[in-house]
Structure 1
Amino acid sequence: MVISREFVTWDRPILHSAADWLIRSATVSPENLPLVDLSHCLVVVPGGLAGRRLTELLIQKVEADGRSLIPPGIITVGQLPEHLYEAKLPFASELTQQFAWGETLRAFGNEPLKPLIPFPPDANDLGTWRDYGDSVRRVYRELVSDALDFTEVAQKAHSLEDFTEQARWDVLAKLQNAYLARLDALQMWDKQSARLYAIKHDECHSDAHIVLLATVDLNRATRQMLDQVAGKGGKVTAIVGAPESWSDHFDEHGCLIADAWADETIELDWQSVAIVDGPTQQADEAAGAIAAVAEKYTAKDVIVGLPDENLLGEVRRIFGQHGLKCRYGPGRSVVSTLPFRLIETIIELSQTRQYHALASALRHPDLFVTLKFAQPGIEQLDEWFNHRLPDVIDNSIQNEEVAQAVSKLNELAAPFVGEKRSLPEWADQVRELLLAVYGSQIIDLDTEANFQLARPLQSINEAMAQWNDIPPSLSQAFGASEMLRVLKSQLTSSMIPAEHDPEAIEALGWLELPLMDAPVCVVTSFNDGLIPSANTADLFLPNSLRNLLGLEDDSLRYARDAYQVQVIQHSREVVKWIVPKRSADGDPLAPSRLLFTGGTEDLAQRVHKFFGMPEDPQNQAKRPSEKSQDHRQRIAIPQPHQLEVIEMPAWDRFSATRINQYLKCPYRFFLKYVVGLRGEDDWSTELDGGAFGNLAHDTLQAFGISDVKDSADEKIIFDFLSAELSDLAVKRYGKSPLATIKLQIEQLRLRLRAFAAGQAQHLQNGWVIHLCEAEVAGPYPIISVDGNEIELEGRIDRIDYHPESGQWAVWDYKTGDSTGDPEKDHQVGPRDDKRWVSVQLPFYRHLVKSVGVRGEISLGYITLPKLGEEVRFREANWGEDDLDQADATIIQAIRDIRAGKFFPPGEARYEDEFSRICQDTVLGKWEPAQ
C-alpha cells in the first residue's frame, strides 16, 4: 500500500478543512449511534498548539451536529517515530546522552581528539567536556534523523571538492562507536540510534490510520519509517494544505519539493505590505492594522506573527499604549523566572562573594520579602557602594539593616559553599532553599501566580528528578556552580506558557502561524534572514555539505517559508506584512526576497516601494506621519510649575559650582536644587570624574599642608604624594578594590609623578604655597544683585604667593585627560563677542578677600593631564573688562534663579542622572506638556 495524499484548499483555514476530512473518515457505528469514532486515527501535527486547536475544532463541529466524539490520538512530528517500532531497551534521557558524550570525548585521549578539538580542556573540567559533548550530540541527532551517521558522512564527504574536514569526520565516526558502546554497557539505547536500527532491520509497523496533517518537512528517517508502515499494509494519509493543482510541489509524503518552489511566484497583495523604519514603527503599524478592523473582529480573531522574538517587548509596550493586550503563546523560558534566578543568585553569591551578586540578591523580589528588606535599605546599599566601590563584600558595611540582610543571605548561601556533592544531593539542597523562600506561600492554581511561580518550581523539580536517572558511572561529584550549569542547560528550552486571556491578542512564532485559524494575521519582521531563514554558519555542517547529504539546507528552508507565506496569504481574510528597514540597533535590514519573486514586469515598482523616495503616502518609513509625530511628543518634559516643590530655597547664598550648573542647564539646576532629585545606582565599575578628582585633590591637599610643600626635591615630593595616595585609596576603597580602580590609582600616581617635577620647578621660580583647599565659611563676601546682598561661598583649591614680587596666584587643579585651557573652558564664541559659560576662576576673586588676600591676583589651572604630558601652571589672560563681564554673568544668573527661570534645559546635551528627563536625544524636546 502506498501513502495517499489528500489536498485541501488553502482558501480557508487548513485545520478546519482537516477537521471536516477527519469527521468524514470516521468509523461508522454498527448500532447507528450518533457517534464520531476517530479512535483508529493517529493524527500527526507540526506542533502542540495546532494539535490543541484541532481537538477544539473537532469537538465543536461534532457537537454542533448533536453527536459525540471519540477523539483521535494527536501527536507532534517528533513523537511519531516511537509509535512505529518497539524499543528493546530503555532510552537514555537527553541529559544522560549529554553526560555520555562528554565522558566519551574525555576518555578518547587528547592526541587522537585534536582534529576535532585542537586544544582540549583539562581532564577535570567536566563541564566543558559536557559542552563539547552536547555540541557533538546535536550534530549526531540531526544526522540520524535523516538516516545518516558520522561514518556515512565521512565516506560521502570524499566526493566534495577541496573538502578539508576529513580527519574531523573520521574522529567523529570513532567517537560514535565509543559512545554507543558506552550506552550498550549501561543497557540503554540512544533514541535516535534506535530509530535508525528499526529502519535498517525493517521493524516499523502500525495498526493505526496515520494522518499526516501539513507536515511538509518530515526528515528522511521518519519518511523511511512511514514507507515501511505503508509497505506492510498500514494506512498512511498525508493531508496537504494546498490546492490539488499544486500537487507537483509536494512529494508522496506530502512534503515540499525544494526545487519546485525555487522559482515559484509568491502571490502577495502589495496593498497589504507596509514598509516601516524600526521596531517602534513595526509595533505602531501592527496596532494600526488591528485598529482598522476592530469593528468587525475581536481579539480572538487576530494573531500577530513574531519571526523575531526580540520584538515582543516593543509590541507589548506600544499595544499597551493603545489599550491592547498581547499574549505570547510560547511563553517564557524557565531560566528567566524568579525561582530560577533565585537559585542562580544565591549560588553566585556563595561562590564569588562579589558585590554585584549581593546587590542582585537583595534586589530579588522574593528574597526582598523573605529578608524583610525595605527600600531605604537599598538606598543605603547604593550609598555604601558609591562610597567604597567594592569588588568583594567586606566588613565595611556599617548600616545595621544591610548587615542583617547580608547575614541572612549568608545563611541561605552556606550549603552551597565548599564541598562537592552528587547531583541528587544537590537537588535536596536546592529544594531546601526554595522551601525556605517559598514554603509559606499559598498559590491559587487558577491565578497568574500559578504561571509565575508554581509552574517554574514544578519545572525545576522535574529537571532535578532526572538526576536520579543518570548512571553512577557517568555522574561524579559536582561543585555548586557546576550543578547550576547542568540545571540551566536542562531548563533553557523549557517554557512556561502565559495565562490564557480571552481579551488578549495572541502572538506566535513564525512556524506556528500557518495552521492557526484566526481570520486576521499581522506578520512582523518580514525580512531576509528571518523569512526565509538561513543557516549562515554551521561548525560541522555547512550548506554545501548539507546539500550533498540531502539534509535540510537553505533551499528547503526557502521552500518551507515560501509555502507558509502562500498559506497565510490565501487562508486569512485580512493579512498585513510589515517590513522594517532597520533593527533595534539601527542596522539596515533587507526585505524578504519572497517580496521579489515571479516575473519582472512590476519588479521595479516593488523595489521602488522599499528603496525609493517618499512618494507613497502609505509608506510610513519614508515620511513621518502625524501619528508618529504625536507619538514623539506623547511624553513631554514637565514644566517647573507642574512639579511639586517641598520648600523653595532662600537663594541668599551661592557657590561657583551652583552658578556654573545653572549656566550649563537651568532645568537640571531646578531638578537638583529645587525639587531635590538625585540619581543613585550601583552600576559603576570605575571611579567617575568626580571621585577621581576628589582622590587627586585630597592627596594634593595633604601635600599642601605638609612640611614637604616647601621642598624643591622632586623625589621627596613624589614619595610623599605616592604614600599619601596609597593610604587614601586603602581607606576609601579597601585592600581589594576593583581591578579598574587599581588601574586608575596607578594612573593617578603617574600624574602625581609629573606634578612633583612641575611643583619643584614652580618653587624654584619663587612661588610658595600659601593655602590649600581654602574654604570660605564666613564672614562671606557680598555681591549686590538688584539691591539685595547675596553671600558667596566656596572652596579654593590652592593659593600661591611670590614673596619677591608680592603677587598672588589662585589655582584650580584639573585632572581631566585634556590639558585644560582656562579661557576656553570659561568662554565661548567669537573673539569680540565671547560668552561666559563658567565663572569658577572669576568667582575666586571675591572669595580670596575672606582669607586675607589683597593685591594683584592671577587666576589659572594646575593641570595634571594623562600620561605623556607635563604638568603645567596655566594662567588665564583676562583683562578687567573680561572679569567685569564675568561678574555681570554671575549677577544675571543669580537674578534669573531668584526669579524662577528654570526652563528650557540647556542646549548642551550630556549624559548624567537627568539626561533622560531632559530627553537629550529627542527632537522637539522643549515643547511644553499640555
Structure 2
Amino acid sequence: MPTITPHSLDWNQPLLPAVTERLLSLTEGSLLDLSHLLVIVPTRQAGRRLREALAVAISDQKRALLPPDILTPDTLLSRALKHAPIANEASVTAAWVEVLSSIDPRHFETLFPVAPEPDVNWQFGMAQRIMQVHNELGEEGLGLYQAAQLAGESGQESERWQELARLEALYIDQLSLHGLLDPKQARREAAERFTAPPGIERILLIATPDAQALPLKALTNTVDTLPIEVWTYGNAELFDSWGRPHTEFWNQRALDFEGWNCQLKASPEPKVAATEVAAMTTNAKPESILIGLADSDLAPLLADELTRKNIPHYDPEGTPLHLGGIGRLTELLCQLSQEANIANVRTLLQHPDCFAYIQASDSQPHLLRKLDQCFERHLCADLDALIQFTDDARLRGALKALKSLQYSIKQAKHFSQGLSNALKDIYADVEIDTGESSKPWRERAEAVRQLLAEVATAEDTFPKLSTDLARSLVLQGLRKAKVHPDRPRQAHDLLGWLELLWNDAPQLVLMGLNEGKVPESVIGDAFLPETMRALFGLRTNEQRFARDAYLMEAICRRRAGERGQVDILVPQKAADGSPVKPSRLLFLGSADTLLPRTRTLFAQSDTNEPPTDYSIPWKLSPPPGLPLPERISVSALKNYLECPFRFFLRHIMHMRPIDLESREMSPAAFGTLLHAILAELKGLSIDSQTKPSDLIAKLHAIAENEIEHKFGRELSFALRLQKEAILARIQAYVERQIEDIRTNGSIQILHTESKFSAKLEGIELRGVIDRIDQRGDRIELTDYKTADSPKSPEKAHLAPLARKEPPAHLPEEAFFEHGNKRYRWIDLQLPLYVYSQLEAGKERPRVAYINLAKTLEKSEIAPWEDFTQSHVDSAIACAEALIRQIKAGVFWPPNPDLREDYDDFAPLFPDGIENSVKAEAFQNYQFTKTNDMAESL
C-alpha cells in the first residue's frame, strides 16, 4: 500500500547537486527517463535552477533526458483549474463591492458597529480587506463559512464571523449569477478531487519547508494510489511528515553562527550595507557569491548601488508595471481622467510617448516652461483653465490634445475601453520594432492589454461597476503586475529570503536580516489575530519563526568551515530611515555567545567617519561665455547685495523655483496684483473733499475686474480668501490715505508704475516707481509694501554694522556713515528712485513707503524722515561698485547667513554651496564680449 516515505539529504553539503544526483540515480541507461515523476519544489526560481542543473549534468554525461514534471505547490492546483470559469481578481473585487453596496450595514452591526459612509472608497477598501482575509483562509483550505463554524464552536467572536459568512454567501451568489467561480473555493474543490496527472507514478516533495495546507490536502488524496516521497534537507526527525520544521523544536534550537563561519556586522544605515555588498561583489562571478535580501524593501537601494559600480544584477521578482513605459503612461491617463490638474498635465507632457503624440513643435523643456508660466500667472486649477488662459498657440494645441485623450476616456461606455482607446490613439502612428530592442516595450504592452481585458470582463459582468471603481482596479493592477526584463549575462541575482535554500554559491552575503522581516510577523490584525490564526489552523508567528530558524541554519551550515562563508549585514535603519532591530534569529545561541552578538549588532558607528560612502558625482560650474547684461534692475542690485552667487543663478542663469502645488498667489504675485490695482489711480487728485466710500468702491471694482481677468470667475477657496484680503487692504489704505490728506494737504497722483533708466558704469540701470505724487511744490516718490509687518524705509535699506563680520563680497562703497553710525546698504531702491528724478534747480523729492497691511492699525504712510543727499550719493557709489563687480565676474563668496527657509536655492545644495560648487568658476567669471545675445536683468 503506497505511503509517505521520508528521505533525508545531507544539509552539510550543497542542496542542488544532491537533489540532481539522487534524481538521476532513479533511472539508468543512455536515455534517462524521469517523466513518470512529479517533482514539487518551493518556488519557481528553485524549479528553474533544478531544470538547469539536470540539463548540465546530462550534457556532461552525454546522455538524453526525459525530465520530470517540476511544479510548485501553487501550480499543482492551478493546473487542475486551467479550463474552469474562475473569476479574475477584478471580477472578484467587483463582486465584493456589489455585495457591500447592496447591503444595509445596520444588519451587520457586529462587523460594522459604526455605520460607514456608503461611498466607493469605503466599498473598495472594505472589499480589499475582506478579500485579504478570504485569501488567507483559502490558502489553508477554509472559507468564511468554515471559519464561522470553528469560531462558533470555540465561542470566539462567533457573531462577527457569522456576519462575514453571510457576506461570503452573497458574494458567491453574485459570482454564480454570472457563471463564475470564486478562486479559493475552486481551489478547495480541486484539492478535494485531486488526482495525479496521467503517466505520473511517483510524487516527490523536495526541500519545501513552507508547503501550505491546501496543496498538501491535494497530495493526501493521492497517498492511497501513488507513492509520495518527502525529501528533507536535514535529518527527517527535525520535520513533520510533510517536511515542515517542527515548531516547538525550532523555536528553542540554538543557532551556531560562530561555528558556521558567519560574520555578523551592524550597518548604521542601509546604504552602508549596500556599499559593502557592492564591494564584495566587484569582480566576483555569480556562481561564487550569492546576494540575499531578507528585506525586499532594500532591493531598489542595492540595485542602485550595483548599477553605480557597473555590477550586472537581476531581480527575479521583476519590476512593477506602473514604474515605466506604457505602464506609467496608463497610470497617468487614469489620473488625468480623474483630475486634470496642473501636476497631472505636466507629468503627462513629460512622458516621451505622450509628448510624441501631441506633435509639439516646441522642445519639451520649452513647452513645459510655457506651461509653468501660464500656471504661475493664472493659478489654473485644471486643464480647461490652462486652455482658457494660455496665450501661446502651440501650448494650447498640446493641451487640447490632452483634452482629446481625456474625452476619449470619458465618452466610452466602459472605463477600460476608454483607456484602451486613448492608448491606441497615442500609439497609432508609432512603428514597433519586432526585434529584441523592443521586447521590453512589447512585454509591458501585453501586460497592460491583459490588465485592461480583465477589468473589461469585470465591467461587462457587473454593469453597475462605477467608473471610479474601474479606475481603482486598473491602478491597483498596475502596481501588482510585474514585468521581467531579460537577465543580463553574468548577472548577480538579488534573491529573497525564501529563494536562498536552492542556491549553492560558496559565499552568501545576506542583507536586511531585521525583526519583522525575518521572521515575518503578523501583529495587530483586526480579523486574524494570533489566537484566531491558531484556531483556524493558519500559519502562526511561531510556525513562521520555526521555518525561518530552519532556513537560517540550512543556508549557513552548508557553508561552514572551508566550504564557504556567510556575511550577515544588519542595518540599524530601514530604507525610510526609521530605526529597526536585528532579527530575533540572531540571538538564538548559547549563553556565552549572547553578549558578543549583542555588542556586535548594536555597535555604534564611528562618528569621526561619514555614515555612508558618499561623494558628490559633480560640482556645479556655470556655462561658459554667457553674455554680459546690457541692463540691470534696481531689484537685481538688492539681490547682489544679499548674495552674489545667488544673484548669478537668478539673474545671469535665470534660475527660479516654480511651485506647481500652490493654489494661492505667492506673496510676490499678491503684491504685484495689488500694485496693478492701485496703478489705476494715475491722474487722480485726492483732497479733503474726496469721499472714502467712493474711492473704495472704485478700487474694489477695479480689483474685481483684475481678479476675474487673471483667474476667471470660478475661484478656489484660497483665492477667494486672498480676494477678500485684497479688498480689506484697499479699504485700510484708502482710510489711511484720506487721513494723511487731512493732515498734510492734498495730492495729485502724477504717475503710477513709472519706468526710468539711467547709465551707470556703461550699464543701463532700470526701475519702476510705484507712484509719483505732487504735493504743493514738491514731488513725493512712494513705494507700496504688502507685508503684514512692514519695515520702515530706513530699516529696509540700511543695516547697522554688528559685531559679526559683514558679508565678504561687499565692496567698500556698500558701507555708509550717517548720524555717527556706520551702516551697510541692503537695498538701494528709494535712493536710486530719487537719483532718477533729480532736476537741477528743483527740490529733492521726498520718499516714503505706503504699507498696505491687512488692518487699518498696521496700514501707514511711512516717510523717510532723515533722508539726505548723502544717502543718494552713497547709494549711487554703491550701485556703481556693484556693477563693476558684476562686469568683472565676481560672484563669490556666497552669503552663508541666509536662512534656509528664505533661500529659493537651498534644495539644490543639501550639502552646502561650498561643497557643491566650483568656487573658482564664480570668482572671476568671463562674460562674452558680444552683445547680440545680451539680456536685461
Instruction: Quickly name the TM-score band, shorter chain normalised.
Output: 0.7 to 0.9
Partner of 2:252: 263
2: CA distance, partners of 1:186 / 1:838: 82
**Residue in structure 1 matching 2:767, options 790, 794, 815:** 794
Partner of 2:629: 649
SS at match of 1:60: helix
**Residue in structure 1 matching 2:837, options 824, 830, 851:** 851
Partner of 2:784: 813
Task: Report deviation, 1:390.
Answer: 0.7
Partner of 2:724: 746
- What amino acid does structure 1 have at the position aligned with 2:140? D
Pairwise mapping of residues 307-326 of structure 1 onto structure 2 (< 5 A)?
Answer: 307-326=294-313
2: CA distance, partners of 1:64 / 1:929: 65
User: What do residues 634-673 of structure 1 show as CA deviations (whole Å, max 9, x unaligned)?
Assistant: 43332x5xx31232235xx643312221122212222343
User: What do residues 432-490 of structure 1 show as CA deviations (whole Å, max 9, x unaligned)?
Assistant: 44333334444445524211x21122122233444676696x42065655433333344
Partner of 2:96: 101
SS at match of 1:701: helix
**Residue in structure 1 matching 2:129, options 131, 135, 138:** 135
User: What do residues 542-587 of structure 1 show as CA deviations (whole Å, max 9, x unaligned)?
Assistant: 2332234332233233333333333443445344333333345443
1:9 maps to 2:4: no
Whether the 8 Å CA contact 1:859–1:875 is kept in 2: the answer is yes
**Residue in structure 2 matching 1:458, options 446, 455, 463:** 446
1:49 maps to 2:22: no
Partner of 1:594: 585
Partner of 1:70: 66
1:659 maps to 2:637: yes
SS at match of 2:388: coil
Task: Report deviation, 1:407.
Answer: 3.5
Whether the 8 Å CA contact 2:757–2:766 is kept in 1: the answer is no
- What amino acid does structure 2 have at the position aligned with 1:22? L
1:763 maps to 2:750: no
Partner of 2:470: 483
**Residue in structure 2 matching 1:362, options 336, 349, 362:** 349
User: What do residues 32-55 of structure 1 show as CA deviations (whole Å, max 9, x unaligned)?
Assistant: x31222212222222222211211
1: CA distance, partners of 2:718 / 2:456: 44
Task: Report deviation, 1:193.
Answer: 2.3
Whether the 8 Å CA contact 2:320–2:479 is kept in 1: the answer is yes
1:377 maps to 2:367: yes
SS at match of 1:420: coil
SS at match of 1:229: coil
2: CA distance, partners of 1:222 / 1:611: 42
2: CA distance, partners of 1:262 / 1:182: 44
1:898 maps to 2:899: no
Gap regions ≥5 residues in structure 2? 807-814, 816-822, 922-937
Task: Report deviation, 1:495.
Answer: 0.9
Sort the Cα spacing of 1:174 and 1:372 in 2 relative to 1 into closer, same or farther, 3 A: same
Sort the Cα spacing of 1:170 and 1:742 in 2 relative to 1 into closer, same or farther, 3 A: same
2: CA distance, partners of 1:711 / 1:536: 78
Partner of 1:508: 495
**Residue in structure 2 matching 1:416, options 409, 419, 436:** 409
Task: Report deviation, 1:252.
Answer: 1.6
Partner of 2:139: 145
- What amino acid does structure 2 have at the position aligned with 1:24? S
1:190 maps to 2:182: yes
1: CA distance, partners of 2:229 / 2:407: 60
Partner of 2:106: 111
- What amino acid does structure 1 have at the position aligned with 2:629? P
Sort the Cα spacing of 1:327 and 1:220 in 2 relative to 1 into closer, same or farther, 3 A: closer
Whether the 8 Å CA contact 1:580–1:589 is kept in 2: the answer is yes
Sort the Cα spacing of 1:250 and 1:380 in 2 relative to 1 into closer, same or farther, 3 A: same
Partner of 2:169: 177
Partner of 1:553: 540
1: CA distance, partners of 2:353 / 2:833: 54
Whether the 8 Å CA contact 2:628–2:887 is kept in 1: the answer is no
1:389 maps to 2:376: no
Task: Report deviation, 1:112.
Answer: 1.3
Task: Report deviation, 1:331.
Answer: 1.8
Q: Choose 34-43 or 266-275, whichever is displaced more.
A: 266-275
- What amino acid does structure 2 have at the position aligned with 1:61? A
1: CA distance, partners of 2:573 / 2:750: 55
For normalisation by structure 1, the TM-score amounts to: 0.84
SS at match of 1:635: coil
Sort the Cα spacing of 1:156 and 1:864 in 2 relative to 1 into closer, same or farther, 3 A: farther
Sort the Cα spacing of 1:925 and 1:141 in 2 relative to 1 into closer, same or farther, 3 A: closer
Pairwise mapping of residues 432-471 of structure 1 onto structure 2 (< 5 A)?
Answer: 432-444=421-433, 446-451=435-440, 453-466=441-454
Task: Report deviation, 1:166.
Answer: 4.2
SS at match of 1:320: helix
2: CA distance, partners of 1:922 / 1:280: 24
Whether the 8 Å CA contact 2:515–2:582 is kept in 1: the answer is yes
Task: Report deviation, 1:861.
Answer: 4.3
1: CA distance, partners of 2:250 / 2:800: 66
Sort the Cα spacing of 1:755 and 1:333 in 2 relative to 1 into closer, same or farther, 3 A: same
Whether the 8 Å CA contact 1:335–1:341 is kept in 2: the answer is yes
- What amino acid does structure 2 have at the position aligned with 1:636? K
Root-mean-square deviation over aligned CA pairs: 4.0
SS at match of 2:111: coil
SS at match of 1:97: helix
SS at match of 1:686: coil
Seq. identity, %? 25
Gap regions ≥5 residues in structure 1? 616-621, 783-787
Pairwise mapping of residues 874-889 of structure 1 onto structure 2 (< 5 A)?
Answer: 874=862, 889=878
Whether the 8 Å CA contact 1:859–1:876 is kept in 2: the answer is yes
Task: Report deviation, 1:239.
Answer: 2.5
1: CA distance, partners of 2:598 / 2:515: 14
SS at match of 1:395: helix
Sort the Cα spacing of 1:739 and 1:126 in 2 relative to 1 into closer, same or farther, 3 A: closer
Sort the Cα spacing of 1:41 and 1:719 in 2 relative to 1 into closer, same or farther, 3 A: farther
Task: Report deviation, 1:70.
Answer: 0.9
Q: Choose 872-881 or 752-761, whichever is displaced more.
A: 872-881
Task: Report deviation, 1:706.
Answer: 4.4
2: CA distance, partners of 1:929 / 1:19: 65
Whether the 8 Å CA contact 2:749–2:774 is kept in 1: the answer is no
2: CA distance, partners of 1:735 / 1:744: 14
1: CA distance, partners of 2:658 / 2:320: 31
Task: Report deviation, 1:61.
Answer: 1.0
Partner of 1:290: 281
Sort the Cα spacing of 1:576 and 1:770 in 2 relative to 1 into closer, same or farther, 3 A: farther
2: CA distance, partners of 1:267 / 1:875: 83
**Residue in structure 2 matching 1:406, options 396, 399, 419:** 399
SS at match of 1:211: strand
Whether the 8 Å CA contact 1:99–1:475 is kept in 2: the answer is yes
Whether the 8 Å CA contact 1:781–1:846 is kept in 2: the answer is no
2: CA distance, partners of 1:626 / 1:348: 39
Whether the 8 Å CA contact 1:645–1:675 is kept in 2: the answer is no
Q: Choose 737-746 or 770-779, whichever is displaced more.
A: 770-779
**Residue in structure 1 matching 2:30, options 17, 30, 34:** 34
- What amino acid does structure 2 have at the position aligned with 1:214? A
Whether the 8 Å CA contact 2:16–2:504 is kept in 1: the answer is yes
Q: Choose 684-693 or 885-894, whichever is displaced more.
A: 885-894
User: What do residues 770-795 of structure 1 show as CA deviations (whole Å, max 9, x unaligned)?
Assistant: 6587566556276xxxxx57664322
SS at match of 2:221: helix
- What amino acid does structure 2 have at the position aligned with 1:51? G
- What amino acid does structure 1 have at the position aligned with 2:768? R
1:635 maps to 2:618: yes
1: CA distance, partners of 2:865 / 2:507: 73
